[in-house]
Structure 1
Amino acid sequence: MKKTTKYLTGMGTLVLATIALVAADHIDAPSSRGTTADIADFFAFEPSEGSDDTTFIVDLQSDVLPELAYGTFDEDVLTEINIDLDGDLVEDQVIQAIARDGKMYFFGPVAPSTTGLSSQVLTDAALGNVEISSTTPIVETTTEGVSLFAGPRQDPFFFDFFQFNAVISPEMDSAPGGFFAPEEATDTFDGANTLSIAIEIPNSMLGTPTATNALGLNVYKTWVTTNKKQ
């Protein structure tokens, strides 16, 4: 029997239609700030050229400054990877992840019971689970060849946050030289963590990709949402 608890979208979605695309977006969603409903990055790519698998990585916002310890996954937040197979930008397959008692539980890929802004945990489509890593990465591989990971990872975003704030400050003379050259900039997030969810899954479980990217390669249209329990 499906769990009927409603989860409502915690922030905007990001549509991807490339073989490998990176997007970083930190601490700018007031309704989800300070929780792991705040999406920082989403990656979707082949793990190696010609692979029959797809890797999805979702980085969720945590304490971003290096001197702060990473946080934990919020158990009232459902992370959902959405996959469109017919080009209408409505999810046809979803992969869900939710934390419980030190483990990350995965469900899908399966057609969702609802689409759009609300979701239900699809407990009938259990995929597997993995212990949430701390200092040592833990990866579980299911009998279907699906690899699962959840835990802290080095923030991949290079950004001189304090110089950026100086440049956009109303005080026009706070950064008269503008942005620094790459060799002079400071990576504010060096040594900081995000909380990551990663899954490598055979394409045969996802369905046939129908989109084509700029390189002429067939790819999935995919985006990620976070949904908070109501």
Structure 2
Amino acid sequence: MIKNIFLDMRLVIGILIAHLLILFSFHDKAIFWYIFSGSLLILIVYAMFQGDVDDKASFIKYIFFGAISGLLLYVVFWLGYHTLDFLHLPFKKGLNKLYKWFAPSLFWQYLALVFVAAPGEEFFWRGFVQKRLSKHLGAIVSILAASLLYASVHIYSGSFLLVFAAFVSGFVWGCLYFWKKSMPLVIVSHIIFDIMIFIIFPLQ
């Protein structure tokens, strides 16, 4: 099974391209949103050329489950934030740096967050990577592996908080994608989560 994954060159090449693009994106904070947006557009195109993504939920279902799951995931992060704060753990400085360095601040960056970043990450990491892994691994293992790979590209941010957040959110979206077999659903969930955590109620 593991050997077959390494022989799946489309998967291996896709992951390598993702690492190179995200490494380049995090390299210069001043132009992060320019490079990150372009990188995700490239990953969307790569994923789309590898096959169709699943879309087995009706419009009402994917809007409903997407919105609810996005809000619930935000609540999980909100509770985690306040739990760490209650325990007086030294994490706020790192979180403030993340918002300062990588959170959108201009109008076009908010548009890129909603229309490029969220869809792009879901198309590539769930619609391509996780789906490809599921051909070689069981459901839970493929979800975990895809979540770890999704988290791994965030290492270049230099923030363990972001890596951990990416793993948790990636696991949730991976489970949703496996459960509902709907790419629009996980994209809506991701968008709602991003809107909550970056625009409406940032964790600061």
Task: Output the TM-score relative to the length of structure 2.
Answer: 0.26
Give the structure-1-normalised TM-score: 0.23
* Larger RCO: 1 or 2 (CA < 8 Å, sep 6+): 2
Higher helix share: 2
Larger gyration radius, structure 1 or structure 2: 1
Q: Which has the higher strand share?
A: 1
